[in-house]
């Protein structure tokens, strides 16, 4: 089929012109250019679409109404995810308009938790590839594969990558992890206006230890056990070097790497390139935002808090580290700040007496309590210092759960905490809902409505007397989209702790938690405004630290202009 007979271009809101080089069915197979029944009759004539579409014309508003009705008729959440994926592959602008209009309803469908179901079925339901698939068995193809995505050095703001070892709560999912990166990028676009064609989703196929996948004849990934050790590290190094060379302005976002690798990789590369781990830094930022809002409601500062973290893994220690750094910004020394935390791992309270046999990892050691300090504390039947012991001796002001241990925050633990703190700050963050350390309705009952609560999963409001308690969800989507947008606006060379802290502060400033029943974090319905505020704060922090390559001269306008809006641009013909 020949090209369009006369020059045509689509003009986007930011003034950019996108050439249209196709006509007819070829044009409609391009998701970013296809607008289906919203092509006017004049455009259909000029673009070879006459007779290929129903006669009637639909505005975007009419299209949104139609596809939302189709979406609502899907029988379950997984079917809704499949419907939206197919829609994105057909008409990307309409997909993002629908998602933006119904972000609170659809975020759990395109992202966690429903995306986990789609990932598990990836090889069974494979349809249209989206993203870049890099195999550890073919390292020589990394540069070629990334180049084949079709974007140049100045055309990429984000590279989101996973090795699929720690996918949500379902673990190793092999090549199917590509879906978590495309889901993440959908949120970047819907929440912060990161242009969908300025981001690259990547899966590093290093094998899988999931025997179910390895024995599935339909599995589409490399059929061998997960590669570890020196060969794995060399592959990561080669990948990072190639990304930096091909896309020098991009932020490299690490997603759902296993605990053993996540901290190690971030530590190795965070001072070498612009890189970010959402499971560590994004989770930490949104939890810090909730903690700051709660502390203000209590007329205190972060440096006044005593924090107990039940579940000191990747996310838990990431939270502790950012809170510690914030306390240091408020004037504490590192030793003083470290002493404000009590972290529990698989072996109970982490102490200096424990070693590798108890599962203590290097990144946990800075927060280990001195063995002599806790020698007189009571221990359970296994000789470990448990959560009950810690709460009874510490009198924490903040209790955080990242343990995936259902009901770990028992009535006795919570009442003990509340007996020493007027308004305890309690955050059962484990996902999904079935893994939560406590339910908000119980926390409010056990504290007589005094608890300030943030959860990892969404919970309905709780009504007690004449007060309706809105339950904040510590959703990373409140932070990472705005962070990525801010980095893109100022072309930051690094993602610093100061930039992460600025993002958390920006989130905290959007709420007033002092009002009875008020949420500690904004609703996901406010994502676009929150993302803009986060981006603004990140830009200013990067500029203040000398990390911005683009001068931040008018940050509000720069952020606003960079936020892509899902609208059909004008089509011009010469």
Write out the catalytic residue numbers: 111, 184
CB atoms within 10 A of CB 40: 11
- At residue 485's C-alpha, the angle toward residues 484 and 491, to 5°, is 85
Could you tell me the two tokens for 367?
């927060």
Helix (H, G, I), strand (E, B) or coil at 276: strand
List the beta strands (DSSP E) in 94-138: 132-135
Report the b/e string of 462-488 with b at 16+ CB within 10 A. Answer: beeeeeebbbbbbbbbbbbbbbbbbbb
- Cα separation, 49 vs 52, whole angstroms: 5
Which tokens sit at 556? 């509000």
Largest Cα span, the chain = 85
| CA separation for the pair 471, 461 (Å, rounded) | 6
How far apart CA 132 and CA 567 sit, in angstroms, is: 27
Determine whether 248 is exposed, middle or buried from the number of CB atoms within 10 Å of its CB (0-12, 13-18, 19+). Answer: middle
The rounded distance, in Å, linking the Cα atoms of 98 and 567 is 11
Which of 424, 537, 430 shows the shortest CA–CA distance to 478? 537
Rounded Cα distance between 13 and 2, Å, is 29
- Alpha-helical segments (H) within 247-333: 259-269, 283-297, 314-329
What's the CA angle centered on 212, arms 211 and 214, to 5 degrees?
A: 60
Query: Backbone phi, then psi, for 246, in 5-degree steps?
Result: -80, -35
Return left, alpha or beta for 217; rule: phi > 0 is left, psi -120 to 50 is alpha, else beta: alpha
**DSSP SS3 for 62:** helix
* In 385-479, alpha helices (H): 387-394, 411-418, 440-446
Q: How many alpha carbons fall within 13 Å on the CB side of residue 566?
A: 28
Q: Which of 314, 318, 377 is nearest to 348 (CA)?
A: 377
- Total H helices, total E strands in the chain: 22, 17
**Taking a C-beta distance cutoff of 8 angstroms, is the pair 426, 453 a contact?**
yes
DSSP lists the bridge partners of residue 82 as none
């Amino acid at each position: 089929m020949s090209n369009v007979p006369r020059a045509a271009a689509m003009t986007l809101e930011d003034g950019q012109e996108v050439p249209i080089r196709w006509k007819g069915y070829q044009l409609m197979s391009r998701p970013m250019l296809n607008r289906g029944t919203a092509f006017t009759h004049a455009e259909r004539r000029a673009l070879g679409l006459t007779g290929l579409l129903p006669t009637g014309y639909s505005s975007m508003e009419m299209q949104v109404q139609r596809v939302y009705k189709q979406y609502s008729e899907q029988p379950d959440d997984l079917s809704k995810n499949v419907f939206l994926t197919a829609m994105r592959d057909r008409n990307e602008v309409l997909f993002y308009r629908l998602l933006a209009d119904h972000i609170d309803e659809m975020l759990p469908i395109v992202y966690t938790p429903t995306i986990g179901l789609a990932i598990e079925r990836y090889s069974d339901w494979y349809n249209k590839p989206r993203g870049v698939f890099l195999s550890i068995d073919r390292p020589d193809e990394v540069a070629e594969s990334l180049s084949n995505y079709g974007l140049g050095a100045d055309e990429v703001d984000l590279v989101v990558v996973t090795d699929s070892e720690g996918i949500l709560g379902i673990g190793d999912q092999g090549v199917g992890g590509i879906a978590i990166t495309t889901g993440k990028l959908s949120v970047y676009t819907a929440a912060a206006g990161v242009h969908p064609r300025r981001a690259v989703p990547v899966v590093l196929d290093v094998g899988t230890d999931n025997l179910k996948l390895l024995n599935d004849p339909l599995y589409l990934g490399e059929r061998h056990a997960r590669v570890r050790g020196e060969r794995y590290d060399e592959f990561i190094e080669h990948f990072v070097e190639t990304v930096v060379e091909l896309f020098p302005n991009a932020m490299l976002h690490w997603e759902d790497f296993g605990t053993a690798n996540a901290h190690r990789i971030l530590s190795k590369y965070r001072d070498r390139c612009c890189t970010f781990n959402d499971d560590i830094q994004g989770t930490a930022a949104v939890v810090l935002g909730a903690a700051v809002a709660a502390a203000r409601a209590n007329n205190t500062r972060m440096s006044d808090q005593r924090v107990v973290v039940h579940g000191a893994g990747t996310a838990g220690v990431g939270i502790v580290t950012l809170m510690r750094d914030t306390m240091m910004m408020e004037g504490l020394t590192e030793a003083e700040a470290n002493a404000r935390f009590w972290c529990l791992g698989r072996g109970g309270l982490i102490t200096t007496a424990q070693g590798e046999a108890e599962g203590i990892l290097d990144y946990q050691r800075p927060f280990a309590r001195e063995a002599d300090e806790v020698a007189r504390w009571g221990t359970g039947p296994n000789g470990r210092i448990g959560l009950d012991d810690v709460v009874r001796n510490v009198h924490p002001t903040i209790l955080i759960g990242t343990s995936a241990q259902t009901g770990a925050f028992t009535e006795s633990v919570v009442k003990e905490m509340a007996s020493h703190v007027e308004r305890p700050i309690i955050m059962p963050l484990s996902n999904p809902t079935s893994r939560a350390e406590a339910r908000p309705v119980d926390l409010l009952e056990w504290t007589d409505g005094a608890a300030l609560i943030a959860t990892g999963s969404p919970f309905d409001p709780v009504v007690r007397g004449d007060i309706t308690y809105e339950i904040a969800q510590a959703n990373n989507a409140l932070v990472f989209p705005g962070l990525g947008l801010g980095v893109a606006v100022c072309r930051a060379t690094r993602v610093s702790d100061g930039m992460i802290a600025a993002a958390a502060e920006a989130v905290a400033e959007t709420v007033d938690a002092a009002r009875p029943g008020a949420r500690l974090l904004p609703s996901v319905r406010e994502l676009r405004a929150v993302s803009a505020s986060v981006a603004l704060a990140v830009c200013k922090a990067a500029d203040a630290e000398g990390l911005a390559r683009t001068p931040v001269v008018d940050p509000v306008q720069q952020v606003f202009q960079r936020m892509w809006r899902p609208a059909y641009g004008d089509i011009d013909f010469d």
